[in-house]
Structure 1
Amino acid sequence: MITTRDLSIALQSLNRARSYATTIILTLSITLGALVTLFNLNYQLLAAPLPYPDEDRLYVVNGNLYQNKQLRLENNSQYPALVEIYKNDSFFESSALVYFWEDVVRNLSGSPRVNVSYVSPEYLQLAGAPLALGRQFNTDEGLDSRVPVVVISYQTWEQMFRRNPNVLEQSLQFGEVDFRIVGVTAKDFIEPQIYKQGRQTAVWLPWDFNDTQVERRNNWRGFLPFRMLTGKLKPGIDPTSAGHELSTLMDAQYQAALAGRSSSVERSVEYRLTPFANKILGDSATRTLMVMGGTLVLLLIACANVTNLILSRAAKQQRNMAIQVALGAHKKHIFLALLCEIGLLMLGAALLSLLLALGSTEVLKVMAAEQIPRIQELTLNWQTLVFALLCALLLALFFSAIVSRQVNYRALNQMLQSSGKGSGVQISPLIRKVLISSQVAMTSLLIIASLQIFLQANRLINQPFGFPLDNVQVMTLNIGNLRSAPTTERESYLKAIRQRLLEHPKVQNASLSLNTPISISRPLWTTSLSHDASRQNPVMAKTTVVDENYLSILRMPLVAGRHINAAEFSDNNRMMLVNETLAQQLEPDGEVLGKRYYWRGDLPHQVVGVVRNASLPGKKEPARLFVRGINVSYPLLVLRHKPHQPLSTTEINREFAHVNRQYKVSELFSLEQARDLLLSNDRVSVWVTTALTLLALSLAAIGIFGVLSYSVQLRRTELGVRMAIGARPATIFYHTLIDSLIPVVIGIAVTTLVVVPLALWLEQSEFSIETSLWGWLLPPLLIIGLTASVTLLSVWKIINKPAIYALQGTR
């Protein structure tokens, strides 16, 4: 049993070896801190309950579109289907409609763009949203009531109203409607991230006011990803069975609505119920578990280093142990003394690791807010504290057991009688080799995995997109109360806006469009092409409505044919361009120039050009279709500005005001910003794998140096004798290096036995991981080079001086 006296003696002993204690605490606290941080994160993702009442019964309903039994659109829902499910009370105790969008607040200075969620009254109730002020929506503000009220977030209240206590007397204007503020959510409300990670709603508006035009609300052909239904299942309802029944009901109505359309004969819809937790987390837990595995390997490497340090200290303390044995101490007393001292070191490392984990958590909240779900909920909790202390206890027991097994008690008992000669505690050659081999094996495995991820992420980051991204800005336009204006009127406004921008001194070219190959928030519009008017076996394609300037602004090269010129646009010719992927899907040989295909109507469109595929990192290029036209409902402007002269939102809105003040910039970004967002996960992968590789190499270098340095000191006299009889320094280094490389080669061999089957399995698996030869070869080369360097450093003080210094033991 450990007593306070034992603790006092251990503290005094460690106080006399401060550098030893500091080295162990820092070595373990850094790696243990990383492990504690990842444990805390994975606990949050995998085990911590969601902050919503009855979270195990909360589900999200999304639709899927199938064509010829092949999935064409995933997590895209039809407006009328969602409304039908909402009105159906067979499965859900309570359900809510939600439509995620962005809009411009027109009665605030600068017309700020905010994230909007159009919801039915039940949505905030299902999420258990606490309030700082006012109330939630009530039943009188439900479906078809058209009551203009709004609930705002705490952040909106803080940023736009400076926490004005009279905010409930104010309103927000969207379009031509003033919405009276009736509530403010509490600061600690965690919004369910069921649509997009990192998206925070600024205002919640009633469902009736969503952006879908009234005439399209019964359109069963429209599928969009940003509208869905959430609900709390009734007790005893099986979600899979409920999904099958809903799919049957919705598909029947879908087929009835499209009766007589031959193009839809082979289409069907499916509606699935996804648990809130699955919808929010996605596959993020897999990635964070992999990183946690990497940090666990780092901890094991650090443990190998610490084992060497503790064994070396035990060798130096053998005289004290001998005195204890001479005074009657038994094995358990020696073990408890070791456990007491090592336990204090592990406790110090655990406490420091918690401080490091606390800091790391705050850094993660800032750097990974867009990549990791539930990151803002992350705090150190009692589970994390228990995990850190449990790790410290297990490490203390492990190190104490290792040292205890190396103690030769009989030799200790005879040590005082032989004037201190002998070896009561000494690191055996086998232990030294095991320490090096284990470190090399773990380090190699970690570096191989890290390098493969690093090289793949780096390839994606540096991969050309197929068109230049510099000096291009993209802006989404908000059209205010013009949504009900005639199409010809809105088209004339947009052409006038384009003309004003073309005349701006900073602008080289401007185009009206629907989307770009890379976008921050706008989903791609999917339509179909067919070979004949019967529209059998249609081919699905991502569709972009463009004007004559679009392809020249983006400088997307053609592989065949030509662009559509301005005269052909004004003559209302039915022409289109397709990309290489779509050309191959339309015709096996890809020869589509001059051929006609049916698109959205009974008159065919002629293909006049084939555009080279874009090359978006990590994404297979979809079939793309470019057709002439101007989208007046959801317009998007693409402009190429002069180098280093981007336009601001204020400048653009000023130009809009000369045409019609209803037009405002809803979203403004450059293609370079869109690229950075697309590559954000890959950049995080590069930083994480770089950090793991450098830390692993550093720990391996320290550990190998410690073991080799100890081995060289034991052989100091032997090496001195060799030098005295004529051995050259290079020869001494060479033979020492050969001895050092034996356990290193064993460690690399162990790694190879693990890696080769893994590599073969990856080649046969469905994982899209592109391995690199350098990713396999570089880690062993680095380890061998590292071993050579630390071997030279270990013997340098011996071979750099005359042999007499080694023979005399002079340092």
Structure 2
Amino acid sequence: MQMNQLWNDLRYGLRMLLKTPGASGTVLLALSLGIGLSALTFSLIDGAVLPTLPVEAGDRIMRISRSERVPMTVEDYAAWSARQRSFEEIGAAETATVTLAIEGSGSEPVSSASITPSVLSLLSVEPSLGRPFSEQDARPGAPAVVLVSHNVWQDRLGSDPSVLGRTVRVDGRPAEVIGVMPDGFGFPWDQGVWMPLDLDPLRGAAVDLTRSLETNSAVGRLREGVSPQVAAQELTALTQQLDVETHGAAGPESIVNVRRYTDLFSESGQSATLAGLMLGIAFLVLLVACANVTNVLLARAIERQREITVRLALGASRRRIIAQLLAEISLLAAIGAVGGVGLTLIGTRFVDAAVPPGMPYWIEFRVDLPVLGFVAIVAVLTALMAGLLPAIQASRSNVHELLKDSARGSSSFRAGRVMRRLVGVEIALSFVLLVLAGLFIRSAMNFRATDFAFAPEEVYTANIGLPQSTYDEEDLVRFTDELRETLSALPQVADAVLATAVPGVGGSAMVPVEVEGAPVLDEADATRTRSIAVTPGFFELFRTSLVTGRDFDARDGPGALRVAIVNEAFATSHFPEGALDRRIRYVGEEGEEEDWLTVVGVTPDLLAGGVEGEFPEAIYLPLAQNPQSGLLIIARPRADFASLPGPVRESVAALDSDVALFNILPHDEVISLANSSYTWMSLLFLVSGATALFLAAIGLYGVMAFWVVQRTREIGVRMALGGQKGDIVRLVLRQGMAQTSIGLIAGVVLALPTVQLIRFALFGVGPYDPIVFGSILGVLLGAAWLGCWLPARRATRMDPLEALVAE
């Protein structure tokens, strides 16, 4: 019986929707946009902000690390492995970029990871072809073996099914392929090659217990029922005990952090903020859509008052009327959900195609069961939020009173008042969203307009990785000197230098520093400063003149006085009376004495990071005194970029064919890629704000059109008595703009605290930027004026006699 009744309600609802295609289409458009944007946002959060590792029990795979100020050592890992009880198993990985040489396929750079044999076991991942690493593979002196990714096997090894046992060269050293990993696997980031890593202290001198792990973290699978907080407490207690045994004391640096392995934002404390902000944006748009839908349904309820009155007079109950009206909005919500899923599919495909290279392998945007479940929940909530008020309003009909015209007018007046308030809500929420979008866009504009003191599009960079296994410090110095000379001699190159970081991108190391005369006891008390190693000519290439002192030159070789150049921010903070000839040094591990560095120059502040970096303190070191294996080639071509990659690759290969060279790009593209997440957030805000503006404009137009219809008799009388068209236009505009003003005032009040949530992400603009607030006020006032003027113009074309007769 109930199913038949529901079916009859749905059929009747469909007929009623088809009788008013304009109103139904408006509702479907609003619902599709609101639900679609909400689902897309949920997909982005599920795929990038709060994903789980795509392995068995991925929610129990944790990243384990010490304080950011203290690196994790092999000794820490060994102690945790031997004593902890919170994890079923733990492992470690160290990443690098290596040159993979395959006979018949040439040499190309590839991301690699050295992993303990336990890593694949705790991830419950087996090679799709071949075998995983064994403990014997990690022992010193064991034959070199590698695992390759599915992509490497497919692209570089021709999907050869007999690849097992084949020899490849990794950084110039032969290694046997023992397995191919499953398609889509790239742990810990997006690796293409894996080698075994030995961290077993029982092997004695073969393992350096004081060595810091390159990733500064371990990975572990929590036991069932154990929370990350409990595991962190256990490992912190073990680390404090170890620090007391080793260093005689334990401090805040002994704290161990345990978090989801895929949580990329928790270190900065922004994971929950980012997820909440994105969901908040989608919810605001959904509220705007619901307000829009509610207004349309209220208008329809007024039009159907006589129909509902007759049904009540014939014995229908209020519950029956509400149920039937809710069936109609549920039908609309279901169709809108389908449209929303379609928009989400389009959006996720667009986002997936536009994801920049170098992202973690587990980030994937798709419409899966969680997203569809989210859509279903949102559709139900939307139907209730948007449909309940009109349904209750329509069912409150007084059978006797509603048969009179006066009662109809009174009911219309009450509904119109509700509709105007809902439009005010739409305008207020639209203002908040557009202000957030405006602040992000202005930040992006400020970043692009940053005075780098050079033109980023005229400088080209390339990453280079020297095999640490074959290059000692002397070899590193020799190679970098020869490479710079070779590159500078190329006819296509106007200038070339090498460095460990470049302006506008970040990537420079943060190191603890001690200033002479202000001793520090340990790393915890030291100033953390960006450290960048460069070759002579670095500042000249970036068209930057030193404020005082000199640049690095041939005098600053390996055996010479150790020197440094500091930026103005560092000099102002630590040497207000003058930085030249003052001395600084790194704070080493306990018991280690670092050499003093004499300051020989002060450089202007260069943007060291991306949009979040601004201009922090920085120290520049001569690369000859601080050799590094991971470097950037920075070149300024004489002509166009197309002439550069070939000669640069040939120059590097002539010195060593096993050296990896990759990412040869104009520096402006590098900056854009490094700040792509910021660009995506700006786009999300912009799309959300534009959608809300569109819905609010439609809503205001609909309400004013409804108001004009309800005031038809009044307008007809005014015109019959000699009223001018301008008076009618002013009447409509005054009504609509008054409601708009109330909505804008509410929007400003809401925006003032909301903008504080994105303060951390703004660049060169304050949260209360008057240009942004003023511009958005202007945009919304313009859209509101248009939404009011169109119905006003329609009212002026009304024939007074026809208006009076119609009423």
**TM-score scaled by length of structure 2:** 0.85
Shift of 1:655: 1.9
Query: Which residue does the alignment assign to 1:577?
Result: 565
* SS in structure 2 at match of 1:59: strand
Matches of 2:306 and 2:113, distance apart in 1: 74
Which of 600, 611, 621 matches 2:615? Answer: 621
* SS in structure 2 at match of 1:558: coil
Matches of 2:279 and 2:772, distance apart in 1: 21
Matches of 2:738 and 2:326, distance apart in 1: 33
* SS in structure 2 at match of 1:111: strand
| Cα contact 1:103–1:116 (8 A) shared by 2 | yes
| Cα contact 1:42–1:289 (8 A) shared by 2 | no
Query: Which residue does the alignment assign to 2:208?
Result: 218
Which of 430, 442, 446 matches 1:459? Answer: 446
Shift of 1:103: 0.6
Matches of 2:689 and 2:621, distance apart in 1: 49
Identity %: 20
Query: Which residue does the alignment assign to 2:551?
Result: 563
Shift of 1:205: 0.6
Query: Which residue does the alignment assign to 1:94?
Result: 89
Matches of 2:43 and 2:660, distance apart in 1: 44
The superposition leaves residues 49-83 of structure 1 with CA deviations (integer Å, 9 ceiling, x where unpaired) of 65444556543332336xxxxxxx36x43355445
Matches of 2:66 and 2:652, distance apart in 1: 38
Which of 342, 348, 353 matches 1:361? Answer: 348
Matches of 2:528 and 2:51, distance apart in 1: 41
Alignment of 1:657-672 (within 5 A): 657-672=653-668
Query: Which residue does the alignment assign to 2:509?
Result: 524
2:107 paired with 1:111 = yes
C-alpha change, 1:753 and 1:469, in structure 2 (3 Å) is closer
The superposition leaves residues 780-801 of structure 1 with CA deviations (integer Å, 9 ceiling, x where unpaired) of 4433332222211111023257
| Cα contact 1:371–1:681 (8 A) shared by 2 | no
2:790 paired with 1:793 = yes
Shift of 1:758: 5.6
| Cα contact 1:473–1:640 (8 A) shared by 2 | yes
C-alpha change, 1:216 and 1:793, in structure 2 (3 Å) is farther
| Cα contact 1:63–1:78 (8 A) shared by 2 | no
* SS in structure 2 at match of 1:555: coil
Alignment of 1:703-742 (within 5 A): 703-742=699-738
The superposition leaves residues 637-681 of structure 1 with CA deviations (integer Å, 9 ceiling, x where unpaired) of 322222423555543232234444444425544422331123212
Query: Which residue does the alignment assign to 1:205?
Result: 195
Alignment of 1:436-475 (within 5 A): 436-475=423-462
* SS in structure 2 at match of 1:290: helix
Query: Which residue does the alignment assign to 1:274?
Result: 258
Query: Which residue does the alignment assign to 1:29?
Result: 32
| Cα contact 1:411–1:424 (8 A) shared by 2 | no
Query: Which residue does the alignment assign to 1:330?
Result: 317
The superposition leaves residues 323-362 of structure 1 with CA deviations (integer Å, 9 ceiling, x where unpaired) of 4345443333333332333322222112222232233333
Query: Which residue does the alignment assign to 1:166?
Result: 162
Query: Which residue does the alignment assign to 1:260?
Result: none
* SS in structure 2 at match of 1:608: strand
Alignment of 1:739-754 (within 5 A): 739-754=735-750
* SS in structure 2 at match of 1:144: coil
C-alpha change, 1:805 and 1:494, in structure 2 (3 Å) is same
Shift of 1:120: 0.9
Matches of 1:780 and 1:479, distance apart in 2: 55
The letter for the 2-side match of 1:775 is V
RMSD: 4.1
Matches of 2:797 and 2:389, distance apart in 1: 35
Shift of 1:34: 1.4
Query: Which residue does the alignment assign to 1:20?
Result: 23
Shift of 1:563: 2.1
Matches of 2:759 and 2:459, distance apart in 1: 39
Matches of 1:765 and 1:533, distance apart in 2: 34
* SS in structure 1 at match of 2:495: strand
| Cα contact 2:48–2:364 (8 A) shared by 1 | no
| Cα contact 1:457–1:685 (8 A) shared by 2 | no
Matches of 2:519 and 2:346, distance apart in 1: 64
The superposition leaves residues 586-642 of structure 1 with CA deviations (integer Å, 9 ceiling, x where unpaired) of 32x151123344579787543221001112432153332223342555163322222
Matches of 2:652 and 2:205, distance apart in 1: 28
2:637 paired with 1:641 = yes
2:72 paired with 1:77 = yes
Which of 492, 498, 508 matches 1:506? Answer: 492
C-alpha change, 1:373 and 1:454, in structure 2 (3 Å) is farther
C-alpha change, 1:106 and 1:253, in structure 2 (3 Å) is farther
| Cα contact 1:440–1:700 (8 A) shared by 2 | yes
Matches of 2:430 and 2:670, distance apart in 1: 36
* SS in structure 2 at match of 1:106: strand
Shift of 1:140: 1.6
The superposition leaves residues 427-469 of structure 1 with CA deviations (integer Å, 9 ceiling, x where unpaired) of 6342232222222222223333333343334433433335442
Query: Which residue does the alignment assign to 2:599?
Result: 607
| Cα contact 2:289–2:695 (8 A) shared by 1 | yes
| Cα contact 2:88–2:221 (8 A) shared by 1 | yes
| Cα contact 1:460–1:682 (8 A) shared by 2 | no
Shift of 1:802: 6.8
C-alpha change, 1:317 and 1:629, in structure 2 (3 Å) is closer
Matches of 1:525 and 1:415, distance apart in 2: 75
Q: How many residues align?
A: 780
Shift of 1:554: 2.1
Shift of 1:381: 4.1
Matches of 2:206 and 2:665, distance apart in 1: 29
Alignment of 1:47-62 (within 5 A): 50-53=53-56, 58-62=61-65
Which of 117, 120, 124 matches 1:121? Answer: 117
Matches of 1:324 and 1:350, distance apart in 2: 31
Shift of 1:92: 5.0
Alignment of 1:135-534 (within 5 A): 135-144=131-140, 146-187=142-183, 189=185, 191=186, 199-208=189-198, 218=208, 220=210, 223=212, 225-232=214-221, 238-252=230-244, 255=247, 269-270=253-254, 272-277=256-261, 279-280=263-264, 282=266, 283-368=270-355, 376-407=363-394, 412=399, 422=408, 426=412, 428=414, 429-480=416-467, 483-484=470-471, 488=474, 491-519=477-505, 523-524=508-509, 526=511, 528-531=513-516
Shift of 1:719: 2.2
Moved over 6 A (4+): 44-48, 214-217, 234-237, 265-268, 369-375, 418-421, 532-538, 599-603, 759-769
Matches of 2:252 and 2:405, distance apart in 1: 91
Deviates more, 1:49-58 or 1:722-731: 49-58
Deviates more, 1:752-761 or 1:111-120: 752-761
The letter for the 1-side match of 2:622 is R
C-alpha change, 1:390 and 1:325, in structure 2 (3 Å) is same
Shift of 1:686: 1.9
| Cα contact 2:440–2:762 (8 A) shared by 1 | no
| Cα contact 1:509–1:640 (8 A) shared by 2 | yes
2:607 paired with 1:594 = no
* SS in structure 2 at match of 1:460: helix
Stretches of structure 2 that go unaligned for 5 or more consecutive residues are none
Shift of 1:201: 0.9
**TM-score scaled by length of structure 1:** 0.84
* SS in structure 2 at match of 1:676: helix
